Amino acid sequence: MSHQPPILLVHGLHMSGLFMRPLARRLVQAGFITHTPSYHSLTRPIEAHSQRLHEYLTHHHDINKPLHMVGHSLGGLVIRHFLFNYPMWQVHRCVTLGTPHQGSICAQYGNRLLSMLVHHAYPNALDGTCVHPKDTQIEFGVIAGTRPFGIGLPILTYHTHRNCLTDDASIHDGTVYLSETHLTYAKDYLTLPVSHTGLLTDKTTASQTAYFLKHGQFDGHQQK
């Protein structure tokens, strides 16, 4: 039986809990119990997503016992919103994967040019205005990808050239700029040569996530 707190994995935009299964399997191998609920990322606002997590946990977890949370992309913002609105849960550590904590340029273009691509995921979330947890004791680890491959590549390439971004400022994972993933109160921060969606299937991402959840920091010896 695992002595680690269970992990609630929260998927991102245009996804469901099924997309978190590859990561969940690796975390189970590392000794964790995992949960991969789904939510309607496009058709409902972020308030509904955090409520969905609260209701899910009410039925599947003892509120008096600790748990961890891992969020991919928009899922990291949903976690922040959840922690702000439902501080009664004993959340110990969180890891975000490719989450645009500073807001998303890709989503900004999508909201302006074809709003159905981001719909309800933009306000109070991908627009950069998501609330932050009130509990400063919750430990956050941030993993960001640097492999520029994904559906957002044309938009980010256009934005980079239009704004004459420097080489450092133009680093991205195919969907999210590296600069957008920064979180001022994160306890540790790690970049990996992985694309935005690749973060869900990458072996090193999974092992580093497990390491942070166990130790509160990333393992410098595991980095690629």
Cα dihedral value 10, 13, 18, 21, nearest 10: -50
Task: Write the DSSP symbol of residue 127.
Answer: T
Give whole-number Cα distances, 88 to 1, 66, 135, 189, in Å: 26, 11, 10, 26
pLDDT recorded at residue 1: 47
d(CA 51, CA 59): 13
Q: Round the average pLDDT of the chain to a whole number and report it.
A: 95
Tens-place pLDDT, residues 81-132: 999 999 999 999 999 999 999 999 999 999 998 888 899 999 999 999 999 9
pLDDT recorded at residue 135: 83
Tens-place pLDDT, residues 50-95: 999 999 999 999 999 999 999 999 999 999 999 999 999 999 999 9
d(CA 43, CA 25): 28
Report field, pTM of the whole predicted structure over 0.85: yes
* Site of tokens 């680093």: 171
H-run or E-run covering 82: helix 74-85
Q: DSSP of 19-52, one letter per residue?
A: GGHHHHHHHHHTT--EE-----TTTS-HHHHHHH
Instruction: Give the list of residues 6+ apart from residue 28 with CB closer than 8 angstroms, or none.
Output: 34
Inform me whether the pLDDT recorded for 139 exceeds 60. Answer: yes
Is the C-alpha dihedral spanning 151, 160, 11, 144 positive or negative? positive
Extended strands (E) in the chain: 7-10, 34-35, 67-72, 91-97, 139-145, 188-192
Nearest C-alpha neighbor of 122 from the set 137, 100, 144? 100
Taking a C-beta distance cutoff of 8 angstroms, is the pair 160, 154 a contact? no
Cα dihedral value 200, 206, 210, 212, nearest 10: -80
